Structures are given as C-alpha cells and as structure tokens.
Amino acid sequence: MYKISFPHIGKYHIPIKKMIENLVGDYGKVILAPPITKKTIELGTKHSPEFVCVPFKYNLGNFIEALDNGANVIIQTNGDCRMGFYSEVQEQILQDLGYDFELCIIETNSRNRSLKDFFNTFKKMNPKLTYAKTIKTIALAIRIIFAMDKIEQYVRENVGFEVKKGLLEKVENEFLRKIGKADTLLQVEVLYRHYYKLIKKVKINKPENLMKVGVVGELYVLMEPFSNYFIEKELAKYGVQITRYINVSYLLFSPQHKIKNLLKEADGYVTYEIGADGTDSVAKTVKFAKQGYDGILHLKPFGCTPEVNSIPIVQKAADDFGIPVLYFSFDSQTSETGIKTRLEAFYDMLLMKKEGKKEGKNI
C-alpha cells in the first residue's frame, strides 16, 4: 500500500490530505508529517546544505519525520526560484540517509502544469482513477482552499480587536476540523456560510484611527506561521489590522497575481518580472502605500535571491510614499526574542508617526 506524505505549509494540509485520499482510494493512505516543531527545523538543518533557504530545511524536516512514521511516497512541488531544484536534492539527501521511498513531483509552475500530468501521477498509484474523479476531487480541494482563505483573512484582519480574546481562533479551528471531513461541494458551501456567519458575530471593537500594516514577501514564510514565529499574531496583539494578499487561492487563481497586473500595479518601479514573489512584494508595497497603510512588514528566508532583489525597489517605493518598512530575514538561527523586540519598536515608531500626523507634526 502507498503511504503518502507531503510538507506542511500553514493549514493547507487539510485540503491536500483530502485530495490525495480521494485520488488514491483504497490503494493508499496519507501519513501526515507531525505538526512543525523545533525538532522539525533541527532535523532539516542538520541534514541540509548550509547555504539553502529555510523552506528547504523545514520541508526536509517534514520528510524525515514522515518517513520515520512509515511513509513510503513523498509528494513535493517545484517553483519559480531555487525551489524548482529542491526535490532532486532532497531526494538524494534522504536516500543517503538510508530511506527507501518514491518521490512524486507535482508541477505548480503555471506555464508547465497540466491536468494530464497531475492525473498520470496518481493514476500510477490508483489504476481505477478516472479523469472525472480527478476533476471532481480538484474542484472540492479548491473550494475548501477558498473557504479556508476567506475565513483566515477575516481572522487575520480582526483578531487584534476581539472584545473577548480567543473567540475568532476558536471558531476558525472548529471550522477547520469540520471542513476536512466535507465530501461534496454542497457540504463545503454549507459549512463555509455557517461559520462565516458565526465568525462575523464575534464582537469586534476597532478604533476610529485604525492602525493598518500590510505584509509582503516570500510565500513560504508568509503562509507557514511557525517559520515566521507567528509574527502576524504578535503584531495584532498591539491592536493592529494585518493585511496579507499571498495565500494559495491568491497565488493560483487570482488575476491580481498575473504578472501583467503586478507590473501595472508596480508601474514606475518595476519594468520586468523580478522572479518568484519579488514582483508581488513591490506591487503590494505600492498598493498598501496608496491605500494609506501605516507600515509594511517584508518577510523572506535568509538568502532568498528574488526577495533580496526586490528590497531596494520596495524601499524606494516606501520612501516615495513615506511609509515605513520593517524587514525580516528568517533562518534556523533566528531569535524569537529579537523578532518581538523589533516588532515592539516598529509599533512604537508607527504610533508616534500616527499621533504626530493627528497633531499636525511631521515625524
């Protein structure tokens, strides 16, 4: 029997697990990697080349823990940066460590991915799989992702203003437990509408002079909260509205993420595509600035070339619009205490700036 696993990224293991189970049927089962902990990054760092970025290390740690739990098939995706070369390197490292498994690479680059390739990957595991079943399964996973992203977006933007702390997260967690068991599009729709109504009923108290911060950067450290030390929640504790565009539904399906639209959004700052999420970082910096946001967080793995290339342009746009940017670069050695200290100082600076504007001062 195929025992299949894949790397964690945020809460997306829920629809991915459901999708794989539906595709392989009785011929396999999903062995989820344990939730990410310090052990995960320690394992990944121990067996990774020193110079690779932190997503590589987290993924490798996920794989080792999953293989130790009995997985014999690893599913990995590629990407537009060095991520496209990760799979082969990780496969060699794991084989050198003595693991016996099969690696399946799912094409995520929009220019190369196709339904036929996706179908063929799982047809090898499940000879009874049909195109109709594949399309139905993908549609269900996509609808779950859209529902999850919508709920998470509302929580992200409002969690700092709950009257009763913890209620939003409690409702979201209950929704996530149930959405993973949904078998039809109708069930997903009913659950989503029910829990979206519930989550909107949670009492929120937002001040008139609301402080807003936008988050840009590389997709993994944006969407995997353990890798960024739950930085959005930390900042929200100060009573800040957090906005982030990058999530799976945005990356794969939003017209806003198409390069021609990003270049239009970043007009005057970027003429050609930077690569990976770099263009998006510039475009969203400009967008947040034009929308009157108070500050921006830029998050990236240490050594992420596209994001390194975007930083001078992000800073130029921020200077032109007079919006502060706080840059974070994450690796296995990043200090949680240092992150919290810098966030607190950033908030204090934004607060002084905002109060200065109210009093007519230029800070």
SS3 string of the chain? Answer: CEEEECCCCCCCHHHHHHHHHHHHHHHEEECCCCCCCHHHHHHHHHCCCCCCCHHHHHHHHHHHHHHHCCCCEEEEECCCCCHHHHHHHHHHHHHHCCCCCEEEEECCCCCCCCHHHHHHHHHCCCCCCCHHHHHHHHHHHHHHHHHHHHHHHHHHHHHHHECCCCHHHHHHHHHHHHHCCCCCHHHHHHHHHHHHHHHHHCCECCCCCCCEEEEEECHHHHHCHHHHCCHHHHHHCCCCEEEECCCHHHHHHCHHHCHHHHHHHCCCCCCCCCCCCHHHHHHHHHHHHHCCCCEEEEEEECCCHHHHHHHHHHHHHHHHHCCCEEEEEECCCCCHHHHHHHHHHHHHHHHHHHHHHHCCCCC
- Beta-sheet pairing, 212-217 with 295-301: parallel
Q: What is the pLDDT along the chain (363 residues), one digit of tens a residue?
A: 999 999 999 999 999 999 999 999 999 999 999 999 999 999 999 999 988 999 999 999 999 999 999 999 999 987 777 777 888 899 999 999 999 999 998 877 655 567 888 999 999 999 999 999 999 999 999 999 999 999 999 999 999 999 999 999 999 999 999 999 999 999 999 999 999 999 999 999 999 889 999 999 999 999 999 999 999 999 999 999 999 999 999 998 999 999 999 999 999 999 999 988 999 999 999 999 999 999 999 999 998 989 999 999 999 999 999 999 999 999 988 889 999 999 999 999 999 988 876 655 544
pLDDT (0 to 100) of residue 361: 52
Does 3.40.50 match the CATH number of domain 2-129? Answer: yes
CATH code of the domain made up of 207-363:
3.40.50.11900
CA separation for the pair 60, 65 (Å, rounded): 9
According to the model, what pLDDT value does residue 111 have? 59
Q: Do domains 2-129 and 207-363 have the same CATH topology?
A: yes
Q: How far apart are CA 23 and CA 216, in angstroms?
A: 34
Query: What are the sequence ranges of the domains in the chain?
Result: 2-129, 131-206, 207-363
What is the C-alpha separation between 310 and 38, in angstroms, rounded?
30
Q: How far apart are CA 75 and CA 175, in angstroms?
A: 26
**What's the whole-model pTM score?**
0.93
Looking at residue 363, its pLDDT comes to 46
Closest CA to 269 of 248, 247, 241, 290: 290
Dist CA 311 CA 278 (whole Å) = 8
